Amino acid sequence: MSFKVERDTIIGDIMDADESTTEYFLEMGMHCLFCPASRGETVEQACEVHGVDPDELIAKLNKHFEG
């Protein structure tokens, strides 16, 4: 599947593209994934709130989609 994650990618769009990506968000402590507010956040916003390096998460997600 070809899907490119960037800082401004919406979390809901990532999960809609491949729901198995939830593990990466849960790993960073984002346990409210299915609430409407969190699905509307960008990767950068979510990382900021949870104290995670967005570039690290983006790399993991893009590797997942390439894989």
Q: What is the pLDDT of residues 13-62, one digit of tens each?
A: 999 999 999 999 999 888 888 788 888 999 999 999 899 999 999 999 99
CA of 7: how far to CAs of 3, 13, 26, 65, in Å?
13, 13, 18, 15
Q: Could you tell me if residue 1 is inside a domain? A: no
Q: Could you tell me if residue 32 is inside a domain? A: yes
Q: What mean pLDDT comes out for the span 59-66?
A: 96
pTM for the model stands at 0.90
What is the reported pLDDT for 32? Answer: 83
Q: Could you tell me if residue 15 is inside a domain? A: yes
Q: Could you tell me if residue 39 is inside a domain? A: yes
Q: What mean pLDDT comes out for the span 3-17?
A: 96
Domain count, the chain: 1
> What is the domain range of residue 61?
11-66
What is the reported pLDDT for 1? Answer: 59
Helix (H, G, I), strand (E, B) or coil at 3: coil
CA of 19: how far to CAs of 23, 42, 49, 52, in Å?
9, 16, 22, 20
Q: Could you tell me if residue 38 is inside a domain? A: yes
Q: Could you tell me if residue 5 is inside a domain? A: no
Identity of the residue numbered 64 = H
For residue 65, is pLDDT > 70?
A: yes
